[in-house]
Amino acid sequence: MNELSDPRLIIFTDLDGTLLDLESYSFQPALEALARVKETATPLLFCSSKTRVEQLYYQKEMSIRAPFIGENGSAIFIPEGYFSFNYAFERAVPGYRVLEMGISSIVIQRELSNAREKAGLQFRGYAQLSPEELCHLTGLDPEAATRAQQREYSETLVGLSRLEAETLDKVLSPAGLSCTWGSRFCTVAASQTDKGKAVTRLVRLFQKQYEAVRAAGIGDSANDASMLAAVDEAFLVQKPDQRWEHISVPGLKLIEGKGPTGWNRIVCDLLGDCGGNDDNNRTRHRHLQ
């Protein structure tokens, strides 16, 4: 690598409510910036609560081949041959090497059935729901619901009140698991994992590949805070009601534009030359702190 080269830009992004519209799951408003990502061969690294199969689906839809972080930082999936050096990994799945930080869903299911008996709570996980029930609860289509069910490091529970989720959290704690509320349901995963730890681990691999790396991160919610704190430049898009989630990350830039519309602005600004109307593409942001 030439010492005078600019740092290599890599972009971490949340999916739901950020690159994907929260209700329709569409990324259509971000197409212009996605084209620029491909033209510039910029690594676009998904970092989401979504499963491996869900993220592979969206990678294929967007014609992207890159490492990604699944199930809220539980695992990093790296395409075979992506990095030019050897690195340690815990397991392999077709076409990918996996760096694991989370607890296997087999262990989680076992702990959940113990907890169900111990705490006398009535709840069901995505794994126990029929695809029809899951479609009804989430608004996903049947294929998307099946992809969402294929969890490897977490389980989302339905039928719990917030108070019951707190009880469950206490019961699961000795097993190294915790129960966290998302937008609608609570998800059980390893307590020690978060998006930020996985981002830091993946940035180190990119640093080994390119030496100087500039990491950007884009999110919309509280569960993106650790990811946004782990990158060099952090951006927040607007929620459907045009508000920004209150996240305390120094230098965080609040971008005008809901979900993928804001995403398009940020990435066009980072990569330049998106074409179209410059005024529309120019990032409009306010600085926090």
Give the active site residues: 14
Is position 155 an interface residue for Mg ion (rule: CB under 5 A)? no
What region does 273 belong to: left with phi over 0, alpha with psi -120 to 50, or beta? left
Nearest approach, Cβ of 235 to Mg ion (angstroms)? 13
Residue whose CB is less far from Mg ion, 71 or 111: 71
Evaluate whether 247 touches 222 at the Cβ level (below 8 Å): yes
Report which of 191, 48, 189, 192 is spatially closest to residue 108, judged by C-alpha positions.
189
Measure CA 120 to chain center.
32
Nearest approach, Cβ of 113 to Mg ion (angstroms)? 29
Evaluate whether 49 touches 71 at the Cβ level (below 8 Å): yes
Nearest approach, Cβ of 159 to Mg ion (angstroms)? 23
Is position 21 an interface residue for Mg ion (rule: CB under 5 A)? no
Is position 194 an interface residue for Mg ion (rule: CB under 5 A)? no
Is position 164 an interface residue for Mg ion (rule: CB under 5 A)? no
Report which of 256, 49, 283 is spatially closest to residue 148, judged by C-alpha positions.
49
**Helices 142-149 and 131-138 meet at what angle, rounded to 10?**
100
Residue whose CB is less far from Mg ion, 133 or 256: 256
Q: Contact letters (x/-) for Mg ion, 211-250, by CB under 5 A?
A: ---------xx-----------------------------
Nearest approach, Cβ of 20 to Mg ion (angstroms)? 8
Task: Summarize as ranges the residues that interact with Mg ion (CB under 5 A).
Answer: 14, 16-17, 220-221
